[in-house]
Amino acid sequence: MTNPRGLQSVAGLVFVITNLGAWAGQQPTFSARVEEVRVDVLVTEAGTPLRGLGPADFEILDNGVPQQVDLVSFEQLPLNLVLALDMSASVAGERLDHLRTAGHAALAALEPVDRASLVTFSDRVLLAAPLAHDLDAVQSALDDAKGSGPTALVDGTFAAMTVGESDAGRTLLIVFSDGVDTASWLKAEDVLSEAKRSDVVAYGVWLRSKAKPEFVRDLSSETGGRLFEIENSGDLTPTFRSIVGEFRHRYVVSYTPRGVSKTGWHRLDVHVKRKGASVKARPGYQAGS
């Protein structure tokens, strides 16, 4: 009799190898595939999302050139939630129970138009549930996940970014880990370079230990997300729930680039004309082919 779990492992391995090959031949790019550029921006004041801002409240520099902001909104595009979860041996037991509960809480916060996916990583990377409206499938995959082996954090993150780039909408990537990478094939700097060019906004959740969350911190920064460091796995559920809620309160700022090249890497600087406001946005985008 065929072993479904074995097939899942093979499928996951093929998934990673296929996308590694695709990655070597092309670059995911930010939303400059059309004339209009859209930027997901988180604006907070004293740690709380700031609402009610309009185009006149934003300043955008594209490669140092001031741009005219055309539209600012809480864009109601469908949300693609990709969970990239550490399933190494250190996550087994109570931590895994807490992680499952947190994943279910994040899925429960989605709307009917939203999609979700689950990528797990230990010494291997598995696409446990593809991006789809079928949240029941993601829930089941989450319940079936088990912790064992070392940690391929970098490979798992790259795979999850690839899933997030595979469909339209705004993609939120939540990456959870409790330790340093011990099993990845890819280099952290290469994946971070791709993250800067991706449409995905990554939020890192790190269970504090002696290890430093350098990769997850850099990933969050390069994509315009945030890093949450927690003391106890019991804090995972409110953290995951708050991330989904915060992401829905991000502004979508759009403009038509003027006075800049239509190709190459473009550095973005996004500011708000309000004292005390804090802005989080991705650092740039790749224009052209």
Per-residue pLDDT tens over the stretch 133-178: 999 999 999 999 998 899 999 999 999 999 988 667 789 999 999 9
Q: Which residues are CB-contacts of 285 (< 8 A; sequence separation ≥ 6)?
A: 29, 30, 31, 32, 37, 197, 265, 266, 268
Q: What is the CA radius of gyration of the chain?
A: 19
Q: What is the mean pLDDT of residues 62-91?
A: 90
User: Residue 287, class by beta-carbon neighbours within 10 Å (0-12 exposed, 13-18 middle, 19+ buried)?
Assistant: buried
Distance CA 118, CA 173 (A): 10
Q: Does 9 have pLDDT greater than 50? A: no
Assign a CATH topology to domain 76-248.
Answer: Rossmann fold (3.40.50)
- Among 230, 234, 184, 231, residue whose Cα is nearest residue 204: 230
Q: What is the pTM of this model?
A: 0.85
Starting at the earlier edge strand, list the strands of the sheet with 115-121: 125-132, 115-121, 79-86, 170-177, 201-207, 227-230
| The predicted structure's pLDDT at residue 75 | 59
Q: What is the 3-state secondary structure (H, E, C) of the chain?
A: CCCHHHHHHHHHHHHHHHHHHHHHHCCCCCCCCCCCEEEEEEEEECCEECCCCCHHHEEEEECCEEECEEEEECCCCCEEEEEEEECCHHHCCHHHHHHHHHHHHHHHCCCCCCEEEEEEECCCEEEEEEEECCHHHHHHHHHHCCCCCCCCHHHHHHHHHHHHCCCCCEEEEEEEECCCCCCCCCCHHHHHHHHHCCCCEEEEEEECCCCCCHHHHHHHHHHCCCEEEECCHHHHHHHHHHHHHHHHCCEEEEECCCCCCCCEEEEEEEEECCCCEEEEECCEEEECC
The answer to whether the Cα torsion of 17, 20, 24, 30 is positive or negative is positive
Q: What is the mean pLDDT of residues 269-276?
A: 93
Domain borders along the chain are 37-74+250-287, 76-248
What is the overall mean pLDDT for the chain? Answer: 86
Q: What is the mean pLDDT of residues 242-257?
A: 92
Q: Does 11 have pLDDT greater than 70? A: no
The residue whose two tokens read 């224009």 is: 287
Choice among 32-41, 106-115, 265-274 with the minimum mean pLDDT: 32-41
Q: Does 89 have pLDDT greater than 50? A: yes
Q: Does 124 have pLDDT greater than 80? A: yes
pLDDT band at 118, cuts 50/70/90? very high
The answer to whether the Cα torsion of 211, 142, 93, 183 is positive or negative is negative
| The predicted structure's pLDDT at residue 21 | 41
Percent of the chain with pLDDT over 70: 86
pLDDT band at 286, cuts 50/70/90? confident
Q: Does 37 have pLDDT greater than 60? A: yes
| The predicted structure's pLDDT at residue 60 | 97
| The predicted structure's pLDDT at residue 288 | 73
| The predicted structure's pLDDT at residue 232 | 95
